[in-house]
Structure 1
Amino acid sequence: MDKTLCEQFDTLRNYLPDDSSNSTTSDINNLGNFMNYCSNGESKGKECKNDLDNINAGCLWLFEQLFVENKKNISTVQYIIIWLSYKLNQKTYNEITDLNDFYKKYIENNTHYTSCKQGDVDCSNSLNSNIGYQNYKEIIDKKKKLLDINIENMSKFYEAFKSLCNLYKKLGDDSKNCKNDLDDNNEFIKKYNELNNVSDNIKDEVYCQVLSTLLNDYNNLKEYCDDNRDDSDKIPSPTSTKTKETGVQSSESSSEVTSSSSSITNKLIPVLSII
């Protein structure tokens, strides 16, 4: 995670607000290549006609911004799936009862996912260079277990994700209050501990992997402060993820954490150095 990732989600929220009842003066069809992703489902041509097609196009826009325009590691897919679940959980869609339903209807045979195009330009080489995959479906399939989480349960991670993003954005703008931003009353720790203290019936292996990624991204931020602030020794960490499984974090996940930590240094230091 880094500030750039969080800003992309902010941009999308300007066009697709978290509160679906809120009106916006920003026309979603004017957001970059967004309208090119609408030609699936009920939306024919380059215009999204309904909520599901808007949500699907929002996912595709995030994939483009995070994996083609930027070089994010594959764990970033988790945050796209969290956003997707949050949006799907806002309404009842008869044809979409779980994330695998969405995959079958909108992803599995959708050429926007099975190939990589920005408008009419092929972007598979850029995608492959950035992350090692030829199309977005390959990325999703690598993390397909995420789709096994109940939509409602996955959507509960959204507020923790947003609060963590707020910390990344604030630290990127001003490091002077690093310790204050990461005190034991910060919103992310509260949200994380709520998610961590749910019933074991909910907390399966995949749920714990999502928690683990959130915690790793928080600890990467904390580590940055530990390394760059003299007074950071009292910065708290959330309680450890409780799980019935052992070794939840795979070797692949471990390498992603290292990459994420490196990304923080690369993204934040240039910003902080000019303050």
Structure 2
Amino acid sequence: MSENMCKYFKLVWDDFPDTVRDGKYQFNDHNIYSTYCDNNTDKCQTDIDKINAGYLSFFKTLFGDSESIKNHEKNNMNISQYIIIWLSYMLNQINDKTIKNLNDFYDQYVNKRDDYKTSINDVSEYNNYKQIIDKRKDFFNMDMKIISKFYNTLKLLCNMYNEINDEVTNCTKYYGTAIKITDEYQNLLNDNDIGADGSSYRQMLSTLSTDYDNFKKYCDEKCTGCSSIPLLPTTKTTHFPAHISEDAPSSSSITSKLIPVLLAFTIPVFLGIAYKYSLFGFDKRLQKHDLRKRLKK
């Protein structure tokens, strides 16, 4: 997972808070108009306009020149996946009759706005941002409601990357967030909407899994206390029926079968709760000024 990408996600999360009140976002309009809309309020009249400005800013910042593209070359498609997760979540949170799916957004913004056709300097692979987006145009055929389910896992993972790169400390503190990620990931594995192996949703799941594993390795190299960070689950969990039939053979037989099952599930949960603790915000030394300056170029 790209360090610069997660730093930029942090900046976007600050300017585009992802909570809705009375059907509307509480965006930082001052920063949005000056940083993302070129001080042109006509570009950012509605929440969808502002979300579009945020979406475009990812490409301006992370793919804006040959150096940026070279730095992210190995992760270009992974970054595109993460950006579409952010876009899907933000669109899915509000009820806008003009944007019912991702293809609607593509048709009304990416395909029609000249901003996406801005030339990228000294790059032979892509002439503009639209060509980068079109490289994975299939993303826009996906269901944004399903993609939104990946959002919490992405945000938790990026937060850990940002923290460990800001300050190296005793990394046992990441255990609590890692537990949350494994829980979210298990929910995704269990979700029938995600589909079978080979589907686009499974590809997103695989990308998150790879970047989680990379964080665990990176954590082991950079600081102490990472051995407690759990591995991600790899299979769906089995759901056992709560009701026991009256035709069951005997109470002793039931007890002998249930006790190992209950122990197998309750002990890890109990231990997880016992060791779980929350993170306390982000390091304030993130260089937001450099990122904003880069975006305005």
Q: Which amino acid aligns with 1:5?
A: M
Give the Cα separation in 1 of the matches to 2:174 and 2:145: 29
Residue identity matched to 1:114: K
In the TM superposition, 1:1-275 aligns within 5 A as: 1-21=1-21, 23=26, 27-32=30-35, 34-36=36-38, 44=42, 47-68=43-64, 70=68, 71-72=71-72, 73-74=75-76, 75-116=78-119, 124-126=120-122, 128=123, 132-182=125-175, 186-199=179-192, 201-204=193-196, 205-228=199-222, 232-240=226-234
Contact 2:92 2:145 in 1 (8 A): yes
Aligned to 2:234, the other structure's residue is in SS state coil
One-letter code of the match for 2:90? Answer: K
Tell me how far 1:54 sits from its aligned partner: 0.8
Q: Distance in 1 between matches of 2:144 and 2:137?
A: 14
TM-score, scaled relative to structure 2: 0.67
CA distance in 1, matches of 2:51, 2:233: 33
Q: 1:37 to 1:81 in 2, by over 3 A?
A: farther
| TM superposition shift of 1:148 | 2.2
Letter in 2 for 1:58: G
Q: Report the secondary structure of 1:186's partner residue.
A: helix
* In structure 1, distance between residues paired with 2:222 and 2:10: 27
Which amino acid counterpart does residue 194 of structure 2 have in structure 1? I
In structure 2, C-alpha distance between the alignment counterparts of 1:146 and 1:49, rounded to whole Å: 26
Deviations along 1:10-53, one digit per CA (max 9) or x if unpaired, are 22222221113364555144443x11497xxxx74xx4111111
Q: Secondary structure at the match of 2:230?
A: coil
C-alpha contact 1:211 1:241 (8 A) present in aligned 2 = no
| CA-atom RMSD in angstroms | 2.7
What is the rounded CA distance, in whole Å, between the counterparts of 1:184 and 1:91 in structure 2? 27
1:37/1:57 contact within 8 Å kept: no
Instruction: Say if 2:188 and 2:194, in contact at 8 Å, map to a contact too.
Output: no
CA contact (8 A) 1:12 1:58 kept: yes
Q: Which residue of 1 aligns with 2:260?
A: none
SS class of match (1:77): helix
| Contact map agreement 1:35 1:57 (CA 8 A) in 2 | yes
Letter in 2 for 1:144: K
- Letter of the 2:111 counterpart: E
Identify unmatched segments of 5+ residues in structure 2.
Answer: 237-285, 287-297
- How many pairs are equivalent? 225
Please state whether the residue corresponding to 1:235 is helix, strand or coil. coil
- The residue matched to 1:125 in structure 2 has which SS? coil
Q: Given the two structures, how large is their TM-score scaled by the length of structure 1? A: 0.72
Residue deviations 1:76-111 (CA, integer Å, cap 9, x gap) = 011111111111111122222211111111112322
What SS class does the counterpart of residue 37 from structure 2 fall into? Answer: helix
| 8 A contact 1:17–1:24 mirrored in 2 | yes
State the one-letter code of the partner of 1:202. Answer: I
Higher CA-based Rg:
2
